[in-house]
Amino acid sequence: MIPIVNNTSNIYFFIYFFLIGLCIGSFLNVVIIRNLSNESIIFPPSKCPKCLNKLKWYHNIPIFSYILLRGKCAFCHEKISIQYPIIEFLNAAFYGFLFLKYGLSLNLIFYFIFTSLFIVIFMTDIKEKVIFTIHTYILAILGLFYNFFNNNLLDSIFGAIAGFLFLEVLTFIIYKIVKKRAFGEGDSYVLMSLGTIFGFKSLFNIIILSFALQVITLLPQFLTGLIKKKEYSLILLLSIFTISTILSHFYPNNIINIVVLFLSGILSSYKLLKMTKINNDIKQFPFAPSLILGGLIYYFTTFFFLG
């Protein structure tokens, strides 16, 4: 790592990487939109999707152009999606804070690429329920290189295998019971890449956090359905499982909580599968966003603030 000489230079470098993050965030928007529309990410130049007029360079300044244009196309005045400035800002913020963690180092470059690809996968799955496996392959390969340079290659390999097999086996079991696939194949590749990056030792916590996030996301709709069906025992079990999940992150070695987490998870899954088999109402929801958020939350809480 190149030493940072004082706090003033830290501020300059933070601003520098923040601006770099804004520019790359603008490119990420292009990758997201054009991958979904099956277009080249290089040609043709940027254009308005409504009126198809080619944008000028000053229409593409991250965040600032959106503000100056008041969120509208300069030509046809069609509204520009708020996605553009949000992605640009998020990527920039990640780049700035990752610099504070790693300084000028090789690890910094790896995490720049990791977070940018996480954003792309998150957005394509949210928008169209599509995960491009090439993105997960890049993450996995870079994860192996990252852990090789950090003397953690074996843990990375086991994490990749365990991550992929976990969701595939779980999907297979659920399919045998209810005859429908609960998770997309792309989700397995995302968990594989997360296992490659964060390693086998971190995988359990990431999975638990991801399922908890998925439950929270779907909770209002899900609870309404359970109340209508008077499944109060399942609501209780899921409440216990959620509380135990949160506690397991802060107290990972508490045996009582691990047992409660395991039993409530098994019983909840059994009742859910039984109820689903009877009503045949299982739906496939995007799970990759929860996986990515689970990985990022685990990373930032465990390594950034505590590490």
Measured CA to CA in angstroms, residue 260 lies from 106, 206, 236, 268, 299 at distances of: 41, 18, 13, 12, 25
Please tell me the predicted confidence (pLDDT) of residue 193. 96
How confident is residue 3, by pLDDT bands cut at 50, 70 and 90? very low
The rounded distance, in Å, linking the Cα atoms of 214 and 245 is: 12
Q: Does 284 score more than 60 pLDDT?
A: no
Q: Does 275 score more than 70 pLDDT?
A: no
105 vs 49, which has greater pLDDT? Answer: 105
Identify the H or E element spanning 109: helix 106-128
The rounded distance, in Å, linking the Cα atoms of 220 and 205 is: 24
How confident is residue 5, by pLDDT bands cut at 50, 70 and 90? very low
Give domain limits for the chain.
Answer: 153-304
Please tell me the predicted confidence (pLDDT) of residue 172. 87
pTM score = 0.81
Q: Does 2 score more than 50 pLDDT?
A: no
Q: Does 74 score more than 60 pLDDT?
A: yes
- Tokens coding 194: 């997360």
280 vs 20, which has greater pLDDT? Answer: 20
Render pLDDT for 159-170 as a digit per residue (tens, 0 to 9).
999 999 999 998
| Mean pLDDT on 183-208 | 92
Q: Does 260 score more than 90 pLDDT?
A: no
How confident is residue 222, by pLDDT bands cut at 50, 70 and 90? low
Q: Check if the beta carbon of residue 213 is closer than 8 Å to that of residue 172.
A: no
| Mean pLDDT on 125-142 | 93
The rounded distance, in Å, linking the Cα atoms of 227 and 232 is: 7
Which of 11-25, 244-258, 277-291 is modeled with the greatest confidence? Answer: 11-25
271 vs 264, which has greater pLDDT? Answer: 264
CA nearest to 144, candidates 130, 172, 163, 131: 163
Residue 61, amino acid: I
